[in-house]
């Protein structure tokens, strides 16, 4: 059964601010990541100065701004102001005091923009759980009992109540900077269906990899990785009803990245070995983060989920080393000086391994290959 999710106007305003910034990752606490992995992802993002907001989805309009018994408000955006481990006082635990072991708990701090209506459950401002934390650490954490809208809560309670998390990662692209710098490349394109049917020469809306017959019709971007590193892709589509009061849904979009031959210069016509695929989402932006990408050449393919869906897009590529991305437009090499005909087939050989063998004083080289036509 489909469920419509409502957010308060303030949450929508925050969402607009976030989507106007470089790279956005959307998490749901009921998603594929475990609570432990989700905490690690959020802590890493926060430590890297990401902007993070969280909300409890309202399933009906009547639930918007509804205050729960725990003090949290549905359909309302909360700013995340800290994600960290909090050390517990060893004196509060017999085991810890005997063996000098310090327990710790995952905690998150949130700010209600209203400046009121705080969490009143475990680890709220004046709860007894704070007796397990030393006074010096309380001071460093800024623990107060003021009704200022800011509060701590344990991670296990956060994932129990909150449903949606938006993370906006800002990247340093300044040339003259002492902090870590990323190279940024921006491309503007569109998925078009000018042909009568899918697969026409001017059809650039092939859909995702599930539609193998038309997938390679999509725009293709070649990347050359000269040293191992990380690459991030942010794909953003146009507002479907920009300048109007209509609220049509977004097209479902995603990004697929494949390893190709080191001498590849032209468009592919058959999907190759994947190294990463973003989630496909009916959202304005999707994000793909690839770590430790080996040296080689790769093709990034931004797609809609289904073929023949039309809209414009912006693709931003961030990398810690230059990857020289460029749009591939040619399907094959140009004709030679003597007017040779265009190739009608391609043979691709992939050398998996090679070894040298000596036999009766002669050296022979053997190779284990894969052959594609």
Mean residue pLDDT of the chain comes to: 80
Please determine, for residue 366, whether its predicted confidence score (pLDDT) is greater than 70. no
Residue 15 CA, distance from chain mean position: 16
Please determine, for residue 208, whether its predicted confidence score (pLDDT) is greater than 90. yes
112 assigned to active site:
yes
Given 101, 112, 263, 331, which residue is catalytic? Answer: 112
Cβ pair 92, 53 in contact under 8 A = no
Region 141-161: mean pLDDT is 85
Cβ-based neighbours of 195, under 8 Å, separated by 6 or more: 201, 202, 203
Given 59, 76, 172, 241, which residue is catalytic? Answer: 76
Q: Which part of the chain has CATH 2.60.120.380?
A: 183-328
Q: Which part of the chain has CATH 3.90.70.10?
A: 9-169
Please determine, for residue 258, whether its predicted confidence score (pLDDT) is greater than 80. yes
- Classify domain 183-328 by CATH number: 2.60.120.380
Task: State whether CATH 3.40.50.300 applies to domain 9-169.
Answer: no
More reliable by pLDDT, 59 or 218? 218
Three-state DSSP state, 55: strand
| pLDDT tens digits for range 3-21 | 334 444 444 444 434 444 4
C-alpha 47/C-alpha 34 separation (Å) is 20
> Could you tell me the pTM of the whole model?
0.64
Cβ-based neighbours of 366, under 8 Å, separated by 6 or more: 354, 355, 356, 357
Structure tokens, 94: 């017999």
Structure tokens, 358: 């000596």
| pLDDT tens digits for range 190-201 | 999 875 555 555
Radius of gyration of the chain (CA): 26
């Amino acid at each position: 059964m489909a469920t419509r999710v409502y957010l308060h106007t303030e949450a929508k305003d925050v969402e607009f601010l976030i989507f106007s910034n470089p790279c956005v990752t959307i998490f749901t606490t009921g998603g594929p990541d475990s609570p432990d992995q989700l905490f690690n992802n959020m802590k890493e993002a926060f430590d890297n100065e990401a902007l993070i907001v969280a909300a409890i989805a309202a399933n009906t309009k009547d639930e918007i701004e509804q205050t729960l018994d725990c003090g949290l408000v549905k359909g309302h955006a909360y700013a995340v102001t800290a994600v960290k481990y909090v050390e517990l006082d060893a004196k509060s635990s017999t085991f810890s005091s005997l063996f000098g072991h310090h327990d710790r708990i995952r905690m998150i701090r949130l700010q209600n923009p209203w400046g009121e209506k705080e969490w009143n459950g475990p680890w709220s401002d004046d709860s007894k759980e704070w007796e397990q934390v030393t006074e010096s650490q309380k001071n460093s954490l800024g623990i107060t009992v003021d009704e200022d809208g800011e509060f701590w809560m344990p991670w296990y309670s956060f994932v129990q109540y909150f449903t949606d998390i938006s993370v906006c990662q800002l990247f340093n692209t300044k040339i003259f900077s002492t902090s870590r710098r990323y190279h940024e490349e921006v491309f503007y394109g569109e998925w078009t269906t000018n042909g009568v049917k899918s697969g026409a020469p001017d059809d650039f809306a092939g859909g995702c990899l599930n539609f193998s017959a038309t997938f390679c019709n999509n725009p293709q971007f070649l990347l050359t990785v000269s040293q191992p590193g990380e690459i991030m892709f942010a794909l953003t589509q146009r507002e479907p009803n920009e300048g109007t009061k209509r609220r049509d849904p977004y097209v479902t979009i995603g990004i697929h990245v494949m390893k190709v031959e080191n001498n590849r210069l032209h468009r592919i016509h058959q999907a190759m070995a994947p190294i990463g695929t973003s989630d496909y989402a009916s959202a304005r932006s999707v994000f793909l983060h690839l770590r430790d990408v080996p040296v080689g050449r790769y093709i990034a393919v931004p797609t809609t989920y289904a073929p023949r869906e039309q809209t414009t897009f912006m693709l931003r590529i961030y990398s810690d080393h230059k990857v020289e991305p460029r749009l591939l437009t040619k399907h094959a090499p140009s004709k030679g000086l003597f007017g040779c005909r265009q190739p009608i087939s391609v043979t691709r050989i992939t050398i998996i391994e090679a070894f040298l063998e000596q036999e009766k004083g002669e050296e022979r080289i053997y190779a284990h290959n894969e052959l594609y036509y």
